[in-house]
Amino acid sequence: MSSNVFSFFIRHKWILLACSILIVYLLPYYILGENTHIRVHDNMDSNIVWYQLLAESGQIFAGPGETLPNVINGLPRSALPSALDAVVWLYVWFEPFTAYTISQTIMRFTALFGMYILLNRFLISGRSSSWISAGSALAFAMLPFWPSGVLTIAGLPLAFYLFLTIRKQGRNTPWYYWLILSLIPFLSNFILTFIFFLGIMGVLWLFDWLRSKQFNPPLFIAIAAMTSIYLIKNYMLIYTMFIDSSFSSHREENSLGHKDLAGTLELFERNFLNGHTHDLALHQSIVLPVLVGALFLSILRGGYPTRFILLFAATPVLSLWYAFWYWEGWRPLKDSIDILNTFNFARIHFFDPMIWYICFALALAIIAKQMIGGKWIVVILIALQCWNVSQVHEEIKYGEFNTPTFSGYYSTDLFDEIKDYIGKDPSSYRVVSAAMHPTIAQYNGFYTLDTYNNTYPLEYKHQFREVIGPELEKSPSLAHYFDTWGGRAYIYSSELGENYMFKKTSDRKIEELLLDTEALSELGGEYVLSGLPLENHEEIGLVLEEEFENESSPWRIYLYRIDDPVSL
């Protein structure tokens, strides 16, 4: 028995070593708990609160026509994930940060094993190269994936492996491959990546059929099954898009893509070299030079590794497509076809991290094989890249940026003090937030008139614009930001721009906030929670009730009450 265990460890030593390192990588979440620093953008300012609101609402199974009263006087249920989203249930069963930690663990280990088996069984075969596969997969698994996406990006290598196996083995594919394939949709986002993934699989299936004249039913069934599961999971979205003609989303006024040619090419360069905030591959300092070096090395040795060259070539193509989606030249087409405004086809760039690290592994295999001392060079390169990506661990990165911890960001004790001071049931009044994200108030049980959501009624966007319109007139850039997108229905300040976090150590003040408090009052607004003092609060009909702060919170909150509403 002991010899079998020993043999197992020896045979799988590299992936087990990678697992051990990944466990260490995850330890801060388990040890620090809510005192961990994590990402704010598209995370604490949005998704975490959406899940928490839904988990506490009692409306998980409500129909898409129902609303959640906590947000904008009735946020459509369809604006939040469906009851078939597995992450929703993590927030039902566990405390928010525990749910977040579990999703991080699922995401990281799926990325590790998915990339490892994809490389080891389809791209860099042979036990002698398994260490390259394990090292490359480890670096991939520690990337700063968009946290709330779970398997949206991190699960792509596993999904590719499953489909390639089904394509190759057909009816002989083990049953558990089908089970895993059917589970991926419940932990990933169809709109962001898997709609493109399934489209690519469909093209592959069609190509095989035309080339070999064989239909390949298992691959077709896999594509159809995964697509069907996604459609069922996203029944809320399907209903509002294709059935409910009474709902008009604020996205109907989306007008993305006004860059001139110079700005488009600049965006291409920036994305190719640095990536996008949601899919950073951290490839610029080590991975990209390694790829270029391996390519020249192959050519000098008279070899042309087709698979490597094609995948490497795909990286600038994806960046070019991403950049040109925002080119003004598309405007005539976008203005005439609604889906080109409401759906972002540029998001196929979320494939970037997977492609970069497949290329990285292929390049390392070339170097190990073709250079004198190549194996030691590859060991060093893997170690350097793993160190490189580990340094953007959320705790390290956001700790250095001095952003609040999870508990500090939401500051539940501080906001409990504010609720106690107001002394009324939060459902009986409405608040908005200035110089701070409104989801902080939402997380703490306040009913807010401002929000950040992927979709909400277009009519409400127009109503809310009356509140912030006078301030938007002072800033054409903020007006353009809200009018052409509007996902953040915030109390904007032209003095602060797109900055929404100011700690109590800040000496900033908002000198002039032109807020139409009469329009705000008509929506039911009674209070303004501000992270900075409003110097002109009396001019816009506000009364400063109290200032709130405590030792454990990074915020100082100024509570203003609408006393004599002013129309601007």
At 218 the pLDDT is: 96
Express each pLDDT in 479-497 by its tens digit: 999 999 999 999 999 999 9
pLDDT at 10 over 90: no
Averaged pLDDT of the chain: 94
At 127 the pLDDT is: 63
Express each pLDDT in 438-465 by its tens digit: 999 999 999 999 999 999 999 999 999 9
Angle between helices 156-169 and 352-370 (to 10 degrees): 70
At 333 the pLDDT is: 85
Express each pLDDT in 267-323 by its tens digit: 999 999 999 999 999 999 999 999 999 999 998 887 778 899 999 999 999 999 999
Q: Name 292's Cβ contacts closer than 8 Å, sequence gap at least 6.
A: none
Helix (H), strand (E) at residue 79: none
| Residue pointed to by tokens 């009674």 | 526
In this structure, of 32-41, 324-333, 477-486, 489-498, the range with the lowest mean pLDDT score is 324-333
Helix (H), strand (E) at residue 451: strand 451-452
In this structure, of 3-12, 72-81, 143-152, 376-385, the range with the lowest mean pLDDT score is 3-12
Residues paired with residue 430 on neighbouring β-strands, in sequence order? 525
- The DSSP annotation for 331-352 comes to HHHHHH-THHHHS-GGGGGGGH
Express each pLDDT in 12-31 by its tens digit: 899 999 999 999 999 999 99
Express each pLDDT in 350-362 by its tens digit: 999 999 999 999 9
At 510 the pLDDT is: 97
At 547 the pLDDT is: 97
Q: Are 318 and 355 in contact (CB under 8 A)?
A: yes
The mean pLDDT of 497-525, rounded to a whole number, is 96
At 2 the pLDDT is: 66
Q: How confident is the model at residue 128 (pLDDT cuts 50, 70, 90)?
A: low
At 1 the pLDDT is: 55
Neighbour count for residue 549 (Cβ, 10 Å): 15
Query: At residue 84, what are phi and psi to the nearest 5 degrees?
Result: -95, 5
With a pLDDT cut of 70, the percent of the chain lying above it is 99
Q: Are 466 and 515 in contact (CB under 8 A)?
A: no
Express each pLDDT in 52-111 by its tens digit: 999 999 999 998 889 999 999 999 999 999 999 999 999 999 999 999 999 999 999 999
The mean pLDDT of 330-336, rounded to a whole number, is 83
Q: Which amino acid is at 218?
A: P
Using DSSP bridges, classify how beta strands 525-530 and 430-434 pair: parallel, antiparallel or unpaired: parallel
Q: How confident is the model at residue 336 (pLDDT cuts 50, 70, 90)?
A: confident
Residue length, the chain? 568
pLDDT at 5 over 80: no
Instruction: Give the span between the Cα atoms of 56 and 478, in whole angstroms.
Output: 33
At 535 the pLDDT is: 97
Q: How confident is the model at residue 173 (pLDDT cuts 50, 70, 90)?
A: very high
At 396 the pLDDT is: 96
* Cα pseudo-dihedral 20, 21, 26, 27, rounded to 10: 70
In this structure, of 369-378, 435-444, 555-564, the range with the lowest mean pLDDT score is 369-378
The mean pLDDT of 233-239, rounded to a whole number, is 89
- The DSSP annotation for 221-260 comes to HHHHHHHHHHHHHTHHHHHHHHT-TT--BGGGG-----B-
Helix residue ranges, H only, 70-118: 86-93, 96-118
In this structure, of 4-18, 27-41, 408-422, the range with the lowest mean pLDDT score is 4-18
Helix residue ranges, H only, 401-493: 406-410, 412-422, 438-443, 458-472, 476-484
The mean pLDDT of 408-423, rounded to a whole number, is 97
Starting at the edge strand found earlier in the chain, the sheet holding 430-434 runs 430-434, 525-530, 557-562, 542-548
Q: What's the whole-model pTM score?
A: 0.95
The mean pLDDT of 529-538, rounded to a whole number, is 97
Instruction: Give the span between the Cα atoms of 437 and 568, in whole angstroms.
Output: 24
The mean pLDDT of 197-217, rounded to a whole number, is 94
Instruction: Give the span between the Cα atoms of 443 and 488, in whole angstroms.
Output: 16
Q: How confident is the model at residue 126 (pLDDT cuts 50, 70, 90)?
A: low
Instruction: Give, in order, the Cα–Cα distances in Å from 263 to each of 258, 329, 345.
Output: 9, 12, 19
The mean pLDDT of 226-231, rounded to a whole number, is 97
Q: Name 495's Cβ contacts closer than 8 Å, sequence gap at least 6.
A: 510, 511, 512
